[in-house]
């Protein structure tokens, strides 16, 4: 009899991002749910997503989900704010396994933390323009005042490894100047690359502003979701979870980067042709949520 992976609690969790940023979410999953196996995909050939259209981000996300499903994942974490903002609804509607984004978790945490109800959000242009953080925060409390700022240079600076560089600090000061005038007491790091700039941002924002990293809360929500659905993994016989990494380009560079931020050694990163996963949904004969074929 064929195994039904969608209810197999010992199947891995699929996690994806446009590049290395989602590793900040993987890091939290490894810490909060150490027994779970993970299959990660970083779309290093097509990063950044933050400056791409919604249609493109949906198309990329679908291809990645198709790829992750070939690895029989039991749940998917969209470890990218831009893809969560643009594609979560579509992907969730098309999948029969749980799909979690990072934005809800970030908004809920910020709502708990703020005391003066003035919340800043820094993110990619795509996430800021979607208005999704603002919308979710207003649903939680209509009195919140939300101030967004797109920081398009942060992703390439992080990908270049310039997380502690004076150039990055100067750019950060310019980006957050407006938010500082708005007297925010909470700042959401609304891009999964940004927690890697946390030390620098803490210095720039000063002690009066709490930085919210949605990755932490997302891992907690994932743990809860797996427990609620009876999908939490049995303990590994050898005590060691299995982590597999895939990218669309520059596997060596990715692996070096991952080794510098993850608490475990990565032994191998495989490069795959992600474009090859475009048509699987149609081939599988599944119902399309996009009758006009727009995406
Ligand atoms: N790390 C991603 C995010 O959370 C996107 C960066 C990008 O590809 O622009 O938004």
Domains detected in the chain: 13-102+217-284 (3.40.50.1860), 104-214 (3.40.50.1860)
* 80 given a catalytic annotation: yes
pLDDT of residue 4: 53
State how beta strands 243-247 and 99-100 pair: unpaired
Q: Is the pLDDT of residue 1 over 80?
A: no
Summary mean pLDDT of the chain: 91
pLDDT of residue 7: 77
Q: From atom 2 of ligand 1, which residue's Cα is the shortest distance away?
A: 80
Q: Find the helix packing angle between 23-32 and 251-261, rounded to 10°.
A: 40
Mean pLDDT along residues 86-105: 96
Q: Is the CB of 80 under 6 A from ligand 1?
A: yes
Q: Is the CB of 82 under 6 A from ligand 1?
A: yes
Distance of CA 104 to CAs 185, 190, 204, Å? 19, 11, 26
Q: Is the CB of 197 under 6 A from ligand 1?
A: no
Give distance in angstroms: CA of 191 to centre of ligand 1. 5
Query: Given 102, 132, 191, 205, which residue is catalytic?
Result: 191
- List pLDDT tens digits, range 143-172: 999 999 999 999 999 988 899 999 999 999
pTM score, two decimals? 0.90
For 17-54, b/e burial (b = at least 16 CB within 10 A) is: bbbbbbbbbbbbbbebbeebbbbbbbbbbbbbbbebeb
pLDDT of residue 294: 36
Residue 247 to residue 262: CA distance in whole angstroms: 16
pLDDT of residue 267: 80
* 151 given a catalytic annotation: no
Residue 11 to residue 2: CA distance in whole angstroms: 14
- The residue that leads in pLDDT, 215 or 294, is 215
């Amino acid at each position: 009899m064929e195994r039904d992976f969608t209810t197999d609690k010992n199947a891995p969790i699929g996690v994806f991002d446009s590049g290395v940023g989602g590793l900040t979410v993987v890091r939290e999953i490894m810490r909060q749910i150490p027994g779970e196996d993970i299959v990660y995909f970083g779309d290093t050939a097509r990063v950044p997503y933050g400056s791409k259209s919604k249609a493109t981000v949906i198309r990329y996300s679908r291809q990645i989900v198709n790829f992750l499903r070939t690895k029989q994942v039991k749940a998917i974490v969209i470890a990218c704010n831009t893809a969560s903002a643009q594609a979560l609804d579509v992907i969730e509607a098309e999948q029969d396994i749980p799909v979690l984004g990072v934005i809800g978790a970030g908004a809920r945490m910020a709502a708990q933390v703020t005391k003066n109800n003035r919340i800043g959000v820094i993110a990619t242009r795509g996430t800021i323009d979607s208005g999704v953080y603002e919308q979710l925060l207003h649903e939680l409390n209509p009195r919140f005042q939300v101030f967004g700022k797109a920081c398009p240079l942060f992703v390439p600076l992080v990908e270049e490894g310039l997380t502690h560089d004076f150039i990055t600090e100067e750019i950060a000061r310019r980006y957050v100047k407006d938010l500082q005038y708005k007297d925010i007491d909470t700042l959401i790091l609304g891009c999964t690359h940004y927690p890697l700039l946390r030390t620098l941002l803490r210095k720039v924002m000063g002690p009066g502003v709490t930085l919210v990293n949605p990755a932490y809360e997302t891992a907690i929500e994932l743990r809860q979701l797996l427990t609620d659905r009876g999908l939490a993994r049995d303990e590994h016989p050898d005590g060691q979870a299995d982590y597999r990494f895939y990218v669309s380009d520059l596997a060596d560079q990715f692996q070096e980067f991952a080794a510098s931020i993850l608490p475990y050694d990565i032994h191998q990163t495989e490069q795959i042709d992600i474009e090859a996963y475009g048509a699987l949904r149609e081939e599988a004969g599944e119902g399309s949520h996009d009758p006009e074929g727009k995406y």
